[in-house]
Amino acid sequence: MLSGHEAAAVLDRQAIVMEQLVSDAPLVSVLDSIVIALEELIAASRCSVLLLDDDGVLRHGSAPNLPAAYSEAIDGLVPGPLAGSCGTAVHLGEPVVVGDVMVDRRWDDFRSLARTHDISACWSSPIRARARVVGTFAVYSRVRHEPDERERELVRRFTHLASIAIDHERAARERTARYHAEMARESAERANHAKSQFVTALSHELRTPLQSITGFAESLSTLELSPHQRHKALQGITRASTHILSIVDDVLDLARVEAGAMPIQLEVIDAREVVAGACDLLQPLAEERGIDLVQSGPPLPALVDRRRLRQIILNLVSNALRFSGPTTSIRISTATRGAEALVTVEDEGPGISSELLDRLFVPFDRLGADAGREGGAGLGLVLARRLADAMGGSLTLKSAVGIGTTATVSLTRALEDELADAVEVTE
């Protein structure tokens, strides 16, 4: 039995260990505290905890005052009927008391090790958690020794504490593993769902132009058409085919960037030139719509893929043109912000409500907008954002209903001299 004074000491140490458990301290420090506490209570003892791993082998857990060489030597101990005190205790599932390691058969294989490290007696108890043996608690002595009733009681209490600590850590590990498995399952499900939605939307998008081709082709083959009507029908077929081609190109590009297989050729160029080129291309369309394209801002040395940047700017300016009314302006400007080179496309169109902004980057989601004559498929922004990401940049959109939309492409800024160097190399 423990004296009142000793019981209080045990309780104090138990409280410290419990606090460590509550604060999720690493298992090794909790076990060290338990081992040190027991060493303080059993005079001249050195204690250790070994942990049984999933392969049924004993591994080092805690032995702060045993020689490191000894702990290393017994790390990987396989339990068995003659495996020292610890290996035998795990094998039998019960405590093993060896009062003199020099004569006990169970220490035959470890005798010289014991001699080297001044071990004369060792007494080991299995630690159980959830009815399974999970390790051992050993008390070593430098002299031949059999534990008395008091020592047995102390070891019983501290073994129990060690079992709580080990169980706590394993439960936390299991929880984490379950959480990761659940996250992986959910993300696989989400990806699968997104893919089905994508395929459905793609089929739907292709159906309309294909039906229109079939319709025109049927009229051409079955009806007596005037040359003018034939011309109209052929124009319809060309328009629908071009539309299908552009959808397929975008889908292929999207698949390539998502698979990380889009070849990106980064070079230092003046991004403002790319912007100007894209605007020149869209100028006739802007005039047709009565929309002013206004460019401003300084030259913009940036590390980009010229072709992909052009694709992004074309997408953004086309959107601004497609969705804005006549007599409005679209301002396309360049600027720098720290290490970023920015291109901004700002329109005075209808804007996008904040609830719809999240859906902007969902393939084929046109937010209910009419495809219109050009028949946008709803892939432009998704692709533009992925391309910007692939170049190490980003694309963000801000919008206010009734006021307009601002798209900002952020790119990696380069220095003026790098630009000059790049120009020299290409010249």
Q: How far is the CB of 380 from ligand ATP (least distance, A)?
A: 2
Nearer to ligand ATP, 52 or 379 (CB): 379
Radius of gyration of the chain (CA): 38
AA identity, residue 422: A
Interacting partner of 166 out of ligand ATP, Mg ion, none (Cβ under 5 to 8 A depending on kind): none
Nearer to ligand ATP, 51 or 343 (CB): 343
Q: Residue 278's CB: how many other CB atoms inside 10 A?
A: 24
Contact partners, residue 115, CB within 8 Å, separation at least 6: 102
Nearer to Mg ion, 349 or 376 (CB): 376
Q: Count of alpha carbons within 13 Å of 304, Cβ hemisphere only?
A: 33
Tokens 């800024």 -> residue: 413
Interacting partner of 320 out of Mg ion, ligand ATP, none (Cβ under 5 to 8 A depending on kind): ligand ATP
Interacting partner of 379 out of Mg ion, ligand ATP, none (Cβ under 5 to 8 A depending on kind): ligand ATP
Q: How far is the CB of 282 from ligand ATP (least distance, A)?
A: 13
For residue 285, give Cα distances in angstroms to 161, 272, 279, 292, 326.
78, 20, 10, 10, 12
Distance of CA 404 to the CA centre of its chain: 35
From residue 39 to residue 68, the character string flagging contacts with Mg ion as x (rule: CB under 5 A) and all else as - is: ------------------------------
Residue 185 has phi, psi (to 5 degrees) of -65, -45
Q: How far is the CB of 309 from Mg ion (least distance, A)?
A: 16
Nearer to ligand ATP, 47 or 395 (CB): 395
Q: Residue 194's CB: how many other CB atoms inside 10 A?
A: 12
Q: How far is the CB of 276 from ligand ATP (least distance, A)?
A: 20
Nearer to Mg ion, 83 or 379 (CB): 379
Q: What is the DSSP string of 90-136?
A: HHHTS-EEES-TTT-GGGGGGHHHHHHTT--EEEEEEEEETTEEEEE
Contact partners, residue 364, CB within 8 Å, separation at least 6: 198, 201, 202, 204, 205, 377, 378, 379
Nearest to 25 by CA among 13, 37, 16: 16
Nearer to Mg ion, 305 or 365 (CB): 365
Burial of 285: CB neighbours in 10 Å, binned 0-12, 13-18, 19+: middle
- Looking at residues 351 to 390 of the shown chain, list those that interact with Mg ion (rule: CB under 5 A): 376, 380
Rounded CA gap, 426 and 420, in Å?
A: 10
Nearer to ligand ATP, 8 or 248 (CB): 248
Nearer to ligand ATP, 233 or 352 (CB): 352
Q: How far is the CB of 313 from Mg ion (least distance, A)?
A: 12
DSSP letter for 223, please: S
Interacting partner of 367 out of ligand ATP, Mg ion, none (Cβ under 5 to 8 A depending on kind): ligand ATP
Question: Of the candidates 62, 124, 319, 334, which one interacts with Mg ion according to CB under 5 A?
Answer: 319
Nearer to ligand ATP, 50 or 257 (CB): 257
Q: How far is the CB of 206 from ligand ATP (least distance, A)?
A: 13
Tokens 């894209």 -> residue: 278
Interacting partner of 323 out of Mg ion, ligand ATP, none (Cβ under 5 to 8 A depending on kind): ligand ATP
Tokens of 394: 């980003």
User: Do the beta carbons of residue 194 and residue 204 sit within 8 Å?
Assistant: no
Q: How far is the CB of 384 from ligand ATP (least distance, A)?
A: 7
* 349 is an interface residue for Mg ion by CB under 5 A: no
Nearer to ligand ATP, 34 or 321 (CB): 321
Q: How far is the CB of 399 from ligand ATP (least distance, A)?
A: 7
Nearer to ligand ATP, 111 or 256 (CB): 256
Q: How far is the CB of 409 from Mg ion (least distance, A)?
A: 14
Interacting partner of 366 out of Mg ion, ligand ATP, none (Cβ under 5 to 8 A depending on kind): ligand ATP
Q: How far is the CB of 306 from ligand ATP (least distance, A)?
A: 20
Q: How far is the CB of 319 from ligand ATP (least distance, A)?
A: 4
Contacting positions for ligand ATP (CB under 6 A): 315, 319-320, 322-323, 347, 349-350, 352, 360, 366-367, 369, 376-382, 405
User: Do the beta carbons of residue 320 and residue 344 sit within 8 Å?
Assistant: no
Beta bridge partners of 408: 344, 396
User: Do the beta carbons of residue 399 and residue 341 sit within 8 Å?
Assistant: no
Q: Which residue number places its CB atom closest to ligand ATP?
A: 380
- Say how many residues touch Mg ion, by CB under 5 A: 3
Residues forming contacts to Mg ion in the complex (CB under 5 A) are 319, 376, 380
